[in-house]
Amino acid sequence: MGLETVELFAGVGGFRIGLERAGHEVIWSNQWEPSIQAQHASECYVAHFGEENHTNVDIKQIDESSVPDHDLLVGGFPCQDYSVATTGAEGIKGEKGALWWDIERIAREKRPNYLLLENVNRLLRSSTDQRGRDFGVLLHCLHDLGYTVEWRVINAADYGYATKRRRVFIFAAQANTEWGQWMTSKVEKPDYLTQRGFFVDEFPVEDVQTQLPIAHPPNTTLEGDPKETSDEFEFDFEEAGAMVDGGIWTREVTPVYQGESPPRRTGNGWCS
């Protein structure tokens, strides 16, 4: 059955096309281009999908309680500095302006069962002077909200598309959902990321390393709270991984694709 979905950072609606093809229903969306008056992306979105339940205002101006209840929260959000300013009685407060914190506060208020997010693969490595900090903060926030998480860097060109785009896709499921329980029970299996995970059917991969243990402990663990992760955490995240109950498993994988090759771009046009 389709999921009631809220789409943030909707752009022209690329996510929505895929979601509707998969049978899901977008019940509310938001898109706003900062610093300019012309709102072409939002206009394009409305032209395709109608203006009902579409909002064209800065997400920072949206009160989280006004977002309708939903099952799935999606968004391709800009990659910025995610460092944490305070935690504790005041709750977590992130770097002002960073749009991750708007996803976080909506997820905190609405607790959708699932999130599906997209970002540039650089997110796994940033910030430049504390490698892996930003993704660590994101995982820690989701952990605090009761989610299990799986991620994968996917290059569309590796699966037959004529575009070279490496993006990290992040799937989060509340630990008590079927997906959350599946991840929790299987994440220690060495073939979880290549055979059993969320992305494997549509985007098959195999391990780069051939000798794998029968079960394996997490590669690292989140300690303390998101502020501690923001201040101290450094880690090399690989292209595939999962976070369950604060444990992080991650491995290098290589795409497996037997379909047609995408056409290659040449100096004067496309060729196959």
Residue 222 near residue 121 (C-beta atoms within 8 A)? no
The residue from 44, 79, 141, 271 that is catalytic is: 79
- Shortest Å distance, C-beta 20 to ligand SAM: 13
Is 79 designated active site?
Answer: yes
Q: Which residues make beta-bridge pairs with 25?
A: 4
**Separation CA 217–CA 221 (nearest Å):** 10
Least distance CB 30 / ligand SAM (angstroms): 6
Site residues, ligand SAM (CB under 6 A): 9, 11-15, 30-34, 41, 58-60, 76, 78, 99
72: left (phi over 0), alpha (psi -120 to 50) or beta: beta
Minimal distance, residue 72 CB to ligand SAM, in Å:
14
Contact yes or no for 149/174 (Cβ under 8 A): no
DSSP state of 31: -
* Cβ contacts of 98-101, under 8 Å, gap ≥ 24: 99/9, 99/59, 100/137, 100/138, 100/141
Residue number, nearest CB to ligand SAM: 11
User: Of 74 and 248, which has the nearer Cβ to ligand SAM?
Assistant: 74
CB 76 → ligand SAM: shortest distance, Å? 4
Residues recognised as catalytic: 79
